[in-house]
Each structure stands twice: as C-alpha cells, then as structure tokens.
Amino acid sequence: MKKRTLGLMLTAALAAAMLAGCGSSDPTANMSEEEKAAWEAAANDPYGKYPETVVYTTGYNLTNQGADTLSGTPYENDTPSDNAYTRYLKEVLNVQNENEFEAITGADYDQKVSLAIASQDIPDIMYVSEYSTLVELVENDLVADLTDVYNNIACDTVKEAYASYGEDNNPLNTVTFDGKIMAIPKTQLSDGQDFLWVRKDWMDKLGLTEPSTIDEMADLLRAFISGDPDGNGQDDTVGLVVHNEVYGGYPNNTFAVDNLFTAFDAYPAVWIDDGSGNAVYGSVQPEMKDALQLMRDWYSEGLIDKEFTTRTYDDIVALLSSGQCGAYIGPWWSPFNPAQTSTYGTQDAEWINISAPVGSDGKINAINTKSYGGFVVVRKGYEHPEVAMKIVNVNSEYSKQDFSDASKEIRENQTIAYFNWPLYCEVQPGNNAELMTQHVEAVMDGSADVSTLTTEEQGYYDAAQRYLEAEAAGQKADSADYSQYVSRIVAMDRMIEEPANFLTPSFFETTDSMSTRWASLEKLEMQAILKIIVGEEDLDYFDQFVSEWTSAGGDTITEEVNAAIQK
C-alpha cells in the first residue's frame, strides 16, 4: 500500500498505523481538538498552510530541458523533489511531492501513466494529458470526485478563469461526468481570431482605406495586383497568399483562409451544432458552397495567388519577404513570422492587422479553440484531495502576485524554474493575452506603476519601450522587439477593440473510427476543395464529395461523435 505520510512530527502511533495501512482513515483521529482545528482550517483554506508536512505521491512530468538548462546556475543541483517550486510550495502550503515515477513529457510520460492505470495503482495526485485517459480513469473508478473540493477550495481567480471561456467552452464541462467534477483541467488559452494582415505602406501609396467586407477586401487585392505598390514598374505582385491546405487548425494555420468561409457562416474542419443539439461536420454543410464560389471567382481573377496549390509554407514566406505580396490571413502573433520581420528590416514595410472579412453583422466570425490542455486527477481514497486544488491555486495565482522571499527564486528565475513544477496545471483566463496587454499599456500611459507587472508582462513592456525608442531615433528596432510590439500592442489592441463572434465546436476529441479512417477522409476533402477552387470541377462537385465522404466512413464517425457527446 502507498506510504501516506502526513508529516514527520505526527505521533508515533498514527505514523505506525499509516505505514501498516490500517487504523482510522481520519488522520486527525488521535489529535487534540486544537490540533484538529488547525488541520481543518488549513484544509479548508485555498492557501492554508498545514501544521505539519503533507507528503503526496505523484508522477513527475519532466521537460526535455533537464540538467542542461540548470547547468551553471544556482539551481544546477536541483532535483524533481527539491527545486524552486517544490521549496515554494513547502513554504506556502507545507506540502512535499514524492515521485512514484519520473518521465519526459509526451509519449514516455503517457506510457508511465498507462502502466499505473493498468496496475490499478496510481499516485495520490497525477497529471494526465489526454481526455481518453481521463475517461478510462473515471470508468475504472480510480479517481476521486472533486466536486466539493473545487466548490470549497478553488480560489476565486481559478473559478473566474474557467468562467472566462464562456458557458459553452468552460473547461469544467470536459471534466464533469454525471454532474461530478472528476479532475482539475489545465487551461489552454484562446488564440483569438484571425485577421487580414496587409502592408499599410502599400495602402497609403495607393490611397486605399481599410477594407471590412468581402467586396472591399477584393478591391484592395485588385489594387495591390494592378497598382504597382512596390514601385518597381513591373506587373509582378500577387494577390492573397493561401496555404495549400486552405483551412483547418484555426487560428494556428497561418496563411489559411478560414475567415473567408466563416464570413459565410461556414465552419470547415470542425464539429458544429446543427441547431437541434446534434453534431455535424462543418466541411460537409451547404454553407460551404457560397465560400467556395467566392474562392473560385477570386482564383479565376487572380485575387488569390495562382500558384497556391503548389507552394510550400516556406515558399509563401519567401514570397512575402521578397515584397511580391502584401496580404495574408493570420493570427495576432503573425509579427513573429520571418515574412514580417524581414520586410520591416529591409523594405520599411508597415504591417497592420484588419478585421476583415466580416460577416453579416459587421464582425469577424471565429472558431474557438478547445479550452483545456490536460487534467489533474486525485486517487480515489486519498486523504487530502484538496492538496491538488491548493497547489493549482498557488501555481495559477499566488506565486505570480506574492513578492515574499519565498517566491524570489520563481520570480527572478521563472524560465529556469518553470520545468520543475511538481504538478503542471496552469489555469489562466481565456483572455489572458488581452489582459496582459492592458496591464502593459496601463504602465505605458502612466496610469499604473511598473511594479504591478508580472515577470512576463515586464518583458513585453521592456520590448515595447525599446521599439518605441528606436523608432523615435529614426532607427530600426531589434526584430524581436518589433515582433513583441506589433503583436502585443498593435495587433492586440485591434483584437480588444473589435471582438469577434466565436463559435465553439461541439467536439474536440477523436473517436475509434477516426484512428483508421480520418486521414483518408481529410485527403478526400482537401482534394475536392482544391479541385473546386481552381476550376477543375464545378461547384456542384461539392455534393458528390459530401456523398463520398458520408459513405467512406463519415456517417459512422458522425454517429460516434454524437454518442461521445452524450456520455
């Protein structure tokens, strides 16, 4: 049986009973009323420090940074059980991890988790990366119901963070089984909407205003093609660059054109609600045809790069870097793309993000990313299930705002200490990127003091100041400072001021049949889409594609998706 030590200073009788695996399951049974009150107060306080050290067993999720990152630093002798974060947690909560297994993040760690589940002997507290693993743990009755723990112990910041993702995309939805919260979800930040990125210096030269609608966007592309915006006297500029996968992975598939589809209320490559509570695959819905007709027309006219089907990602970057193209669709962090940094440094290019093309209500229609990225579970029967929640509280909020000596190691060496978290489960608001920008801008405009910034925000502030100083001096800023300023300040301001309409997909996971059929279905889909866009097939070919997709396994997978949603 697992060693479940509450602390070295507990009575010998209690310790012996625990080591023997017998006696009362209540660790306070032999304590005085005063001692019991102290333990209960700590257990019921989101940040309460236990009177004596509580040891919890866990699986340690290592990154591949390892000793090389720590070499030559004051932390080179740190271990998974004794490092900046474990010391901080011991100081704040008086808890200590005891690792039942250690493995590198990814396949190695997941294999250790699978072996623990197979043996029916999991650690007291454990991180799992896959939803399917969480389902397996719940179905095998291996993990504790954390409903009361969450309701009573989760700090307000954590609860507000989960709520910020919206009712439909709240991470807690994913960990709730039969009305019970069975895990603590790690959040995955919203990536926001995609934008039309254009060269403002070209717009200014041609006397253009910012487009908003589909038609206005088309007019801008026509001007970029025919108006010689690069001033070389040659007819060599191309229209909108497009990734040869066209859409999918929203919004991380830079150069994809999902926004052209969502403007027509078409949502390709995701599972959506059909309006009656059933999930359907967006790529086979009739709304796709209007968007495909637009792309056919634009391709025929040359508003879309005529060679997009054969260009690689690197080809597109080279095209933009050479100054032959001044428009693409991408996320707010696009300024980190070498296509932007190179043109800023060599061509005085000024890139801006524009909310276009918009839908019928004047806003961009965007697709939500999933709000969770892993889970913390507690072994059923563990005496201190609240420890997991308290650690998440501290990691998510307290360590970032605490300026005590105890947190000094974390604040001054966040990058070094980061991989040593004994329990990796960060919980952040869905709009965390926007909030950080607002905090930085408050310092920039003098309404807040620099001391209010977190370590990460301080880095963004410093980069912005260096960029502005270089520009004011008539110099080129460092490319890293340029990227930080244009993404974190310029692009993020647009995202804050012009919010999008977000659709939350009905299903983010995979089903059994997807493992054997999905790759071929995706290939079938993209072949059909490309043929329609470039004119190899007419628009009605879409209906044939839908029929083939359905008979090739799409109907089976749709049934599995809906069955999974009902669980």
Q: Is the pLDDT of residue 29 over 80?
A: no
Q: Are residues 129 and 201 in the same domain?
A: no
Tokens of 253: 């598939």
- For residue 357, cis peptide bond before it (omega within 30 degrees of 0): yes
pLDDT band per the 50, 70, 90 thresholds, residue 308? very high
Residue 32 inside a domain? The answer is: no
Q: Are residues 301 and 359 in the same domain?
A: yes
pTM of structure: 0.86
Task: Report pLDDT for 372.
Answer: 95
Give the mean model confidence (pLDDT) for residues 253-278: 96
Three-state DSSP at 196 gives strand
pLDDT band per the 50, 70, 90 thresholds, residue 209? very high
Q: Are residues 403 and 534 in the same domain?
A: no
Task: Report pLDDT for 455.
Answer: 76
Q: What is the C-alpha to C-alpha distance for residues 143 and 531, in angstroms, rounded to an integer?
A: 50
Q: Are residues 90 and 159 in the same domain?
A: yes
User: For 122-166, what is each residue's pLDDT tens digit?
Assistant: 999 999 999 999 999 999 999 999 999 999 999 999 999 999 999
User: For 398-419, what is each residue's pLDDT tens digit?
Assistant: 656 666 676 777 766 655 555 5
The CATH number for 324's domain is 3.40.190.10
Q: Which residue has the tokens 């005496």?
A: 383
Residue 327 inside a domain? The answer is: yes
Task: Report pLDDT for 396.
Answer: 81
Regarding predicted confidence, which is higher, 10 or 130? 130
Tokens of 240: 């909108």
Number of domains in the chain: 4
Q: Is the pLDDT of residue 194 over 50?
A: yes
Q: Which residue has the tokens 């009573």?
A: 152
Amino acid residing at 230: D
Tokens of 482: 């340029």
Q: What is the C-alpha to C-alpha distance for residues 272 and 279, in angstroms, rounded to an integer?
A: 5
Q: What is the C-alpha to C-alpha distance for residues 464 and 76, in angstroms, rounded to an integer?
A: 33
Residue pair 278/288 in contact by the 8 Å Cβ criterion:
no
Q: Are residues 354 and 245 in the same domain?
A: yes
Residue 24 inside a domain? The answer is: no
Q: Are residues 395 and 460 in the same domain?
A: no
User: For 38-71, what is each residue's pLDDT tens digit?
Assistant: 999 999 999 999 999 999 999 998 765 555 566 7
Residue pair 143/183 in contact by the 8 Å Cβ criterion:
yes
Residue pair 352/197 in contact by the 8 Å Cβ criterion:
yes
Final residue before a domain boundary, out of 467, 502, 537: 502
HEC per residue, 266-334: CCCCCEEECCCCCEEEHHHCCCHHHHHHHHHHHHHHCCECCCCCCCCHHHHHHHHHCCCCCEEEECCCH
Residue 150 inside a domain? The answer is: yes
Q: Which residue has the tokens 């970032």?
A: 400
Tokens of 40: 């209960």
H-helix or E-strand containing 415? Answer: helix 414-418
Task: Report pLDDT for 556.
Answer: 98
Residue 163 inside a domain? The answer is: yes
pLDDT band per the 50, 70, 90 thresholds, residue 191? confident
User: For 448-505, what is each residue's pLDDT tens digit?
Assistant: 999 899 878 999 999 999 999 999 999 999 999 999 999 999 999 999 999 999 999 9
- For residue 211, cis peptide bond before it (omega within 30 degrees of 0): no
pLDDT band per the 50, 70, 90 thresholds, residue 74? confident
Task: Report pLDDT for 77.
Answer: 83
Q: What is the C-alpha to C-alpha distance for residues 479 and 468, in angstroms, rounded to an integer?
A: 13
Final residue before a domain boundary, out of 391, 418, 445: 418
Lowest mean per-residue pLDDT among 79-93, 239-253, 330-344, 387-401: 387-401
Residue 253 inside a domain? The answer is: yes
Residue 7 inside a domain? The answer is: no
Q: Are residues 361 and 255 in the same domain?
A: yes
Give the mean model confidence (pLDDT) for residues 231-254: 92
Q: What is the C-alpha to C-alpha distance for residues 195 and 494, in angstroms, rounded to an integer?
A: 9
Q: Are residues 452 and 548 in the same domain?
A: no
Regarding predicted confidence, which is higher, 191 or 185? 185
Q: Beta partners for 181?
A: 176
Closest CA to 67 of 308, 420, 305, 422: 420
What's the chain's average pLDDT? 90
Q: Are residues 205 and 179 in the same domain?
A: no
Q: Is the pLDDT of residue 99 over 70?
A: yes
Give the mean model confidence (pLDDT) for residues 524-531: 99
Range of the domain at 534: 510-567
- CB burial readout 310-330, b (16+ within 10 A) else e: ebeeeebbebbbebbbbbbbb
User: For 78-95, what is each residue's pLDDT tens digit?
Assistant: 888 988 889 989 999 999
Q: Are residues 109 and 171 in the same domain?
A: yes
Residues of the chain with pLDDT > 90, as a percent, come to 78
Residue 274 inside a domain? The answer is: yes
Q: Are residues 263 and 307 in the same domain?
A: yes
Give the mean model confidence (pLDDT) for residues 411-430: 74
Task: Report pLDDT for 414.
Answer: 59
Residue pair 376/184 in contact by the 8 Å Cβ criterion:
yes
Task: Report pLDDT for 20.
Answer: 36
Q: Beta partners for 60?
A: 102
Q: Are residues 383 and 348 in the same domain?
A: no
